[in-house]
């Protein structure tokens, strides 16, 4: 995989090296942009857009630096994608490796004297002695280099190498025998440090300083665990050149038998031997993994290590794959006992896992009797869901009902992000010269345009225009829309108002007047504002459908005279971005309307702001 990564990166660098000869952006145009807009223009805040941006030749900007920064970003993104691809590939892990991938402090003992009575006292430990009676002693005594402690009125007592409970009993007897009526109590007040060699097949072999309460598992964790070629089942502990014992971590991890998790002493040597036979098992077992088998162990031990065969098992055979023979064979379940396995063999236990269907839900809100979230069936329809919610209230306005669908939300977001990035690059290309369609855009007007788009993008995202009138659906059952998991229905209450927004002298809600035209409502709002863009007025019907009104043509009754206005309709007058020629105006308004960047406002978004 590393070789594959390197090859792709070399090709990537070679291809992008030609980008160093691309054109540079107009300096005056870029210099006049605010920092936030400049960042979007030359760097972009949309990660989806990685296409090349070409600049004019007359720029004084260091184009090599800019291209290098972009190249670094692209290279890192490629590396991340390759890493994700590699990580997404499922693989079996060696059984036991996860135990050493946790934070090391999970294994390291706290350096406090909280030990069991079998703790071996040695040089450097601190003992607190308390004697109650005529002696009245309360003193901390450290075990000296010769293995003794010096007790007042008694003298030296050698305790190194004894268990803590043996030290306790011995000192109690000495005090009670020497001073009648006195009682002695000892505690371990401070634990010594020990030095342990951790060698063999570990990531970081060497000499380690641990505290005296450490055991074999603590030590292996400090050394980084066990390498792929190291054994989990043959770990030797030597003391003064003598083998103390061999630890099998499977007995600890599977059976919970900690008898081989030896306590350590200074000078101990832990040696992780090479691995034996590694066999993988997957499928219908409790713990699929790669297991290490000893020479005399068979498939019986392998299945036991893996937690035995589960109820998902199908058929009556297992599949054995042998790497050496590059072949596989089916082995009947009643004939596998005692089967010898070889290193790198693989066992598949056929299994079947039925698909578990998640509960599907949809939300109904607004003017219904019982708004809320409902479980839905595969054949749920709009009418059946409305009936579950108790039906419409008397003041419901089904014509303004909205169906919001998750897949539409995602598509809208992707489309708008893509078009937003295209618009930014269109503005950059326009800054190269006056002959371009965007050549008359200034830094101020560019900032104004981008802010306008950011403020209103995605306001109508995810909405489906469907029939909400129950009577019409009864007459035409084909208009009864099917409801999907995650859908949201909103039915507003009826209000006798029309909403006038944008560049008007007195924007706001106006009373609905039957038969009134777009011009009539604009007059009610005090007329068009000074910065209004008359050629792109947007009328949004309660059902979400939209009309684009050319106001100058409307006044001449050409083409726009039949636009109906309903209660809850929205009339939006956009802002004139800049005094551009007609061709340029058409380019911008087409770009904006195509991405729904200007506020194609639904009734839901209006009520939410209220």
551-570 tens-digit pLDDT: 766 555 444 456 889 998 98
pLDDT computed for residue 352 by the predictor: 79
Higher pLDDT residue, 529 or 382?
A: 382
Q: Which range marks the domain in which residue 328 is found?
A: 277-349
pLDDT of residue 85 exceeding 50, the answer is no
Q: Which of 506, 513, 521 is nearest to 570 (CA)?
A: 521
Which range among 126-135, 286-295, 340-349 shows the weakest confidence by mean pLDDT?
126-135
pLDDT computed for residue 447 by the predictor: 59
Cross-strand partners of 126: 142, 190
The Cα–Cα gap between 265 and 252 comes to 21
Compute how many other C-beta atoms are within 10 angstroms of the C-beta atom of residue 365. Answer: 16
**Beta-strand pair 317-322/346-349:** antiparallel
pLDDT computed for residue 313 by the predictor: 86
As given in the structure block, the two tokens for residue 158 are 């050698």
Does some domain include residue 398?
Answer: yes
- pLDDT band with cut points at 50, 70 and 90 for residue 36: low
Answer for the pair 391, 469: CB distance below 8 angstroms, yes or no: no
Which range among 49-53, 236-240, 289-293, 323-327 shows the weakest confidence by mean pLDDT?
49-53
Same domain, 74 and 181: no
The CA-based dihedral angle spanning residues 547, 576, 592, 466, taken in that order and rounded to the nearest 10 degrees: -30
Does some domain include residue 102?
Answer: no
Same domain, 487 and 444: yes
Which range among 91-100, 350-359, 497-506 shows the weakest confidence by mean pLDDT?
350-359
Over residues 159-164, mean pLDDT: 88
Compute how many other C-beta atoms are within 10 angstroms of the C-beta atom of residue 581. Answer: 11
Which range among 110-124, 264-278, 528-542 shows the weakest confidence by mean pLDDT?
110-124
Same domain, 179 and 201: no
CATH number at residue 215: 3.10.560.10
pLDDT of residue 453 exceeding 70, the answer is no
pLDDT in tens, 118-127: 788 888 889 8
The Cα–Cα gap between 187 and 164 comes to 9
Q: Which of 257, 325, 249, 332 is nearest to 291 (CA)?
A: 249
pLDDT computed for residue 77 by the predictor: 53
Strands (E), 248-338: 269-274, 277-283, 289-293, 317-322, 327-332
Over residues 196-204, mean pLDDT: 94
Over residues 204-225, mean pLDDT: 90
pLDDT of residue 443 exceeding 80, the answer is no
Does some domain include residue 358?
Answer: no
At residue 400, the 3 state secondary structure works out as helix
pLDDT computed for residue 70 by the predictor: 53
DSSP state of 159: -
Same domain, 518 and 504: yes
Does some domain include residue 491?
Answer: yes
Percent of the chain whose predicted confidence (pLDDT) is above 90: 35
Identify the domain boundary among 166, 190, 214: 190
The Cα–Cα gap between 65 and 601 comes to 43
Answer for the pair 277, 207: CB distance below 8 angstroms, yes or no: no
Same domain, 421 and 469: yes
Q: For the chain, what is the domain count?
A: 5
pLDDT of residue 286 exceeding 60, the answer is yes
Does some domain include residue 100?
Answer: no
Does some domain include residue 360?
Answer: no
pLDDT computed for residue 51 by the predictor: 39
Over residues 139-159, mean pLDDT: 89
Answer for the pair 496, 511: CB distance below 8 angstroms, yes or no: yes
What sign results for the dihedral spanned by CA atoms 138, 143, 145, 147?
Answer: positive
What is the DSSP track for 216-251?
HHHHHHHTTS--TTEEEEEEEEEETTEEEEEE-HHH
Buried b (16+ CB within 10 A) or exposed e, 397-421: bbbbbbbbbeeebeebeeebbebbb
Answer for the pair 142, 124: CB distance below 8 angstroms, yes or no: yes
pLDDT computed for residue 581 by the predictor: 43
Over residues 5-21, mean pLDDT: 44
The Cα–Cα gap between 350 and 314 comes to 6
Same domain, 384 and 429: yes
Answer for the pair 187, 195: CB distance below 8 angstroms, yes or no: no
For the chain, what is the mean pLDDT?
A: 76
Which range among 286-295, 464-473, 531-540 shows the weakest confidence by mean pLDDT?
531-540
pTM (2 decimals)?
0.48
pLDDT computed for residue 9 by the predictor: 46
Same domain, 444 and 565: yes
Which range among 54-68, 194-208, 342-356 shows the weakest confidence by mean pLDDT?
54-68
At residue 570, the 3 state secondary structure works out as strand
pLDDT of residue 244 exceeding 90, the answer is yes
CATH number at residue 143: 3.30.1950.10
**Beta-strand pair 546-549/537-540:** antiparallel
Same domain, 331 and 473: no
């Amino acid at each position: 995989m590393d070789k594959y990564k390197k090859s792709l990166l070399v090709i990537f660098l070679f291809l992008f090296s030609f980008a160093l000869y691309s054109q540079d952006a107009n300096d005056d145009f870029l210099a006049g942009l605010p920092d936030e807009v400049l960042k979007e223009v030359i760097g972009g805040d949309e990660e989806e857009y990685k296409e090349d941006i070409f600049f004019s030749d007359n720029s004084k900007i260091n184009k090599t630096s800019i291209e290098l920064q972009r190249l670094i970003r692209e290279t890192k993104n490629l590396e991340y994608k390759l890493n994700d691809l590699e990580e997404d590939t499922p693989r079996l892990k060696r059984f036991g490796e996860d135990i050493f991938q946790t934070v090391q402090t999970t294994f390291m003992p706290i350096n406090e004297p909280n030990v069991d009575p079998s703790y071996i006292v040695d040089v450097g430990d601190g003992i607190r002695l308390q004697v109650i009676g005529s002696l009245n002693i309360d003193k901390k005594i450290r075990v000296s280099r010769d293995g003794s402690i010096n007790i007042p009125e008694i003298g030296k007592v050698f305790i190194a190498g004894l268990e803590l409970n043996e030290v306790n009993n011995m000192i109690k007897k000495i005090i009670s025998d020497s001073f009648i009526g006195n009682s002695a109590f000892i505690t371990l007040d401070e634990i010594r440090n020990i030095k342990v060699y951790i060698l063999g097949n570990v990531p970081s072999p060497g000499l380690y300083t641990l505290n005296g309460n450490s055991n074999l598992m603590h030590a292996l964790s400090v050394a980084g665990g066990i390498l792929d070629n190291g054994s989990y089942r043959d770990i030797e502990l030597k003391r003064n050149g003598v083998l103390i014992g061999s630890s099998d971590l499977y007995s600890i991890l599977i059976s919970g038998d900690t008898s081989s998790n030896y306590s350590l002493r200074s000078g101990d040597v832990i040696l992780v031997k090479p691995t034996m036979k590694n066999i993988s098992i997957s499928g219908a077992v409790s713990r699929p993994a790669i297991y290490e088998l000893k020479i005399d162990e068979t498939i019986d031990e392998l299945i036991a290590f893996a937690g035995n065969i589960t109820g998902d098992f199908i058929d009556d055979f297992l599949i054995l794959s042998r790497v050496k023979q590059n072949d596989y064979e089916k082995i009947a379940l009643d004939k596998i006992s005692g089967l010898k396995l070889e290193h790198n063999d693989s066992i598949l236990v056929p299994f079947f896992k039925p698909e578990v269907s998640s509960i599907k839900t949809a939300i109904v809100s607004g003017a219904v009797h019982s708004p809320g979230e409902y479980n839905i069936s595969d054949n749920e329809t709009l009418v059946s869901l409305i009936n579950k919610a108790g039906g419409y209230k008397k003041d419901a306005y089904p014509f303004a009902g909205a169906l919001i669908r998750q897949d539409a939300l995602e598509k809208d977001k992707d489309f708008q992000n893509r078009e937003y990035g295209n618009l930014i690059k269109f503005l950059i290309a326009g800054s190269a010269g006056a002959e371009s369609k965007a050549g008359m855009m200034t830094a101020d007007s560019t900032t104004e345009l981008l802010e306008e788009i950011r403020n209103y993008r995605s306001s109508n995202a995810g909405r489906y225009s469907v029939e909400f009138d129950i009577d019409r659906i009864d007459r035409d059952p084909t208009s009864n829309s099917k409801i999907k998991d995650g859908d949201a229905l909103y039915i507003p209450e009826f209000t006798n108002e029309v909403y006038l927004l944008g560049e008007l002298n007195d924007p706001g809600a106006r009373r609905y007047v039957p038969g009134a035209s777009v011009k009539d409502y604009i007059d009610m709002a005090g007329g068009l504002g000074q910065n209004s863009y008359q050629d792109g007025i947007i009328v949004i019907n309660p059902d979400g459908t939209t009309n684009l009104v050319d106001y100058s043509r409307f006044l001449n009754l050409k083409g726009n005279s039949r636009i109906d206005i309903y209660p809850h309709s929205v009339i939006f007058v956009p802002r004139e971005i800049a005094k551009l020629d007609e061709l340029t105006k058409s380019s911008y308004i087409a770009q904006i309307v195509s991405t729904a960047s200007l506020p194609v406002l639904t009734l839901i978004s209006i009520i939410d702001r209220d």
